[in-house]
Amino acid sequence: MSAAPVLLTGFEPFGGESINASARLVAALDGRVVAGRRVAGLILPVVFGAAGERLLDAINRLRPALVICTGQAAGRAAISLERVALNLADSAQPDNAGVRLVDAPVVPGGPAAYWSTLPLRPILAALRARGLPAELSLSAGGYVCNHVFYTLMHALRDAPAVRGGFVHLPVLPEQAAASGRTPPPPGLALAATTEALEILIATSLAETPADA
Ligand code: PCA
What pLDDT shows up at residue 144? 98
**Is pLDDT of 209 > 90?**
no
The reply to whether 82 belongs to the active site is yes
How many helices (H) and strands (E) in the chain?
6, 9
Ligand 1 centroid to Cα of residue 198, in Å, is 21
Question: Could you tell me where the beta strands, DSSP code E, fall in the chain?
Answer: 6-11, 33-34, 37-44, 66-72, 79-82, 84-86, 113-115, 134-137, 163-169
User: pLDDT by residue (tens digit) across 12-58?
Assistant: 999 999 999 999 999 999 999 999 999 999 999 999 999 999 999 99
Atom of ligand 1 nearest to the CA of 169: 6
Beta bridge partners of 113: 86
CA of residue 143 to ligand 1 center, whole Å: 7
Mark whether 69 is an active-site residue. Answer: no
- Model confidence, pTM: 0.97
Q: Tell me the CATH number for domain 6-211.
A: 3.40.630.20
